[in-house]
């Protein structure tokens, strides 16, 4: 994806919870685990689907995060 906003648009609505699984999610606290967090678009889309399915809270644990260098860091 060319930009973070394009990635977010692309991920919008990408995840759906089937009606048969909503009862397993309702009122629960959910932990999403992501190996590398880049834009956050994937976990955001997942969290939104889980919240719409009735999750009480959604937490995210990322093992690594991509950080863009600041202009001052580039030699």
Task: Quote the domain boundaries for residue 48.
Answer: 4-73
pLDDT by residue, tens only, the chain of 75 residues: 677 788 788 888 889 999 999 999 999 999 999 999 988 999 999 999 999 999 999 999 999 999 877 777 666
Q: Which of 47, 48, 55 is CA-nearest to residue 22?
A: 55
How many C-beta atoms lie closer than 10 Å to residue 75's C-beta? 3
Per the structure, the count of domains in the chain is: 1
What predicted TM-score, i.e. pTM, was given to this entire model? Answer: 0.79
């Amino acid at each position: 994806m060319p930009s973070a906003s394009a990635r977010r648009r692309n991920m919008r609505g990408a995840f759906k919870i089937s009606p048969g699984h909503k009862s397993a999610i309702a009122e629960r606290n959910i932990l999403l685990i992501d190996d590398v967090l880049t834009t956050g678009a994937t976990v955001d889309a997942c969290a939104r689907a889980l919240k719409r399915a009735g999750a009480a809270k959604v937490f995210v644990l990322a093992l690594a995060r991509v950080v863009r260098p600041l202009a001052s860091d580039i030699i």
